[in-house]
């Protein structure tokens, strides 16, 4: 199946007109900040923010955020909460602070330890929504992040029926993307930079942004969604350079680190729109079958997707454990 769309590099260039690249990008893509450090958000004015255990660990270890850790630990002691419950409390506390800054949504991640347990993922997603609701935040402002395992996809199917919106993360293949869309997931987060990392290591070569395997993967997914009318939002994630992000200008959303947001903000070079729904539709595409057996086979057939999904789950689990250990010392 030849499903990679052509780049729309011939689209009219956007004149800078004094606008920096970040301002230009926001004209046709919803820009999201990829950070748990809410102090940085005001500078870049993103619409949404995403977090994961690694980003929360990085932020939580900074002295200015210790008050949130202390509150989570203190509240946990009062109600005799288990360590996992204290962790959930901390993630929600970070989410609440982020929502004071961004006008849109925050993504809060489920535990990597339950990435292969659909029932547990559903239960944790509901718990997060309940905690946000108690703080006065409606579910429309929260995305529950789920690893894109088969079980994560089935959890999303259940949660979406309850109007709990899901963000499918650790996504590296078209098969994962199609299964997530067919389950009704609100949003997917293909990991551009981690795909690039795998191919650079395997092939021992560098890639220009336009030929970046991660960029091409997102274009393929975007074209499939627009061709077959899937409303699931595509949010490119995990960028290694601003060039990668700019090659996906026009994607539904892009979640970008503060460092790269800073680079975009400091440049006034013109930004061209590379993706649009109309230009990406491809009548030659064929539908992909993604029942459980075929999903597992297609994922297995992609060494990159299999390895990066497993690695991502292990990394998030390890960073969550480090954060729990740090909080235990504060108790």
Nearest C-alpha neighbor of 99 from the set 147, 128, 137, 131 = 137
Sign of CA pseudo-dihedral 308, 310, 315, 317: positive
Q: Which two tokens stand for residue 33?
A: 């900040």
Please indicate whether residue 145 is annotated as part of the active site: yes
Question: How far apart are the C-alpha atoms of 93 and 286, rounded to whole Å?
Answer: 44
Alpha-carbon distances, residue 288 vs 5, 90, 167, 211 (angstroms): 16, 39, 21, 24
Of 145, 226, 274, 308, the catalytic one is: 145
- The gap between the terminal CA atoms of the chain, to the nearest Å, is 55
Residue matched to tokens 């649009």: 276
Q: Which residues contact 167 (CB under 8 A, 6 or more apart)?
A: 50, 107, 143, 144, 145, 146, 185, 186, 187, 188, 189, 235
Distance CA(13)–CA(15), nearest Å, equals 6
* Region at 291 (left for phi over 0; alpha for psi -120 to 50; beta for the rest): beta
Burial of 82 (0-12, 13-18, 19+ CB in 10 A): exposed
* DSSP category for residue 285: -
What residues are annotated to the active site? 145
């Amino acid at each position: 199946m030849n499903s990679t769309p052509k780049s729309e590099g011939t689209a009219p260039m956007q004149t800078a007109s004094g606008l920096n690249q970040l301002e230009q990008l926001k004209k046709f893509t919803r820009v999201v900040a990829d950070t748990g450090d809410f102090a940085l958000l005001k500078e870049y004015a993103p619409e949404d923010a995403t977090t994961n255990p690694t980003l929360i660990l990085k932020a939580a270890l900074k002295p200015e955020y210790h008050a949130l850790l202390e509150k989570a630990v203190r509240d946990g002691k009062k109600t005799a909460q288990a360590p996992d419950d204290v962790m959930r409390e901390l993630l929600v506390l970070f989410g609440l602070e982020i929502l004071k800054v961004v006008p849109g949504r925050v993504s809060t991640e489920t535990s990597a330890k339950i990435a292969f347990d659909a029932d547990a993922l559903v239960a944790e997603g509901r718990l997060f929504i309940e905690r946000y609701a108690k703080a006065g935040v409606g579910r429309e402002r929260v995305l529950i992040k789920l690893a894109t395992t088969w079980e994560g996809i089935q959890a999303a199917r259940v949660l979406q029926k309850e109007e709990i919106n899901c963000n499918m993360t650790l996504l590296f293949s078209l098969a994962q993307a199609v299964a997530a869309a067919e389950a009704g997931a609100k949003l997917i987060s293909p990991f551009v930079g981690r795909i690039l990392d795998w191919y650079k290591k395997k092939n021992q070569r560098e890639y220009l942004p336009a030929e970046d395997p991660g960029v091409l993967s997102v274009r393929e997914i975007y074209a499939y969604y627009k061709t077959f009318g899937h409303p699931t939002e595509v949010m490119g994630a995990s960028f290694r350079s601003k060039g990668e992000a700019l090659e996906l200008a026009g994607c539904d959303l892009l979640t970008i680190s503060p460092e790269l947001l800073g680079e975009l903000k400091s440049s006034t070079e013109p930004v061209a729109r590379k993706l649009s729904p109309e230009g990406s539709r491809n009548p030659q595409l064929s539908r992909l079958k993604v029942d459980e057996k075929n999903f597992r086979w297609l994922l297995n057939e992609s060494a990159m997707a299999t390895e990066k999904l497993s690695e991502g789950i292990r990394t998030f689990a390890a960073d969550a454990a480090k954060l729990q250990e740090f909080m235990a010392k504060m108790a």
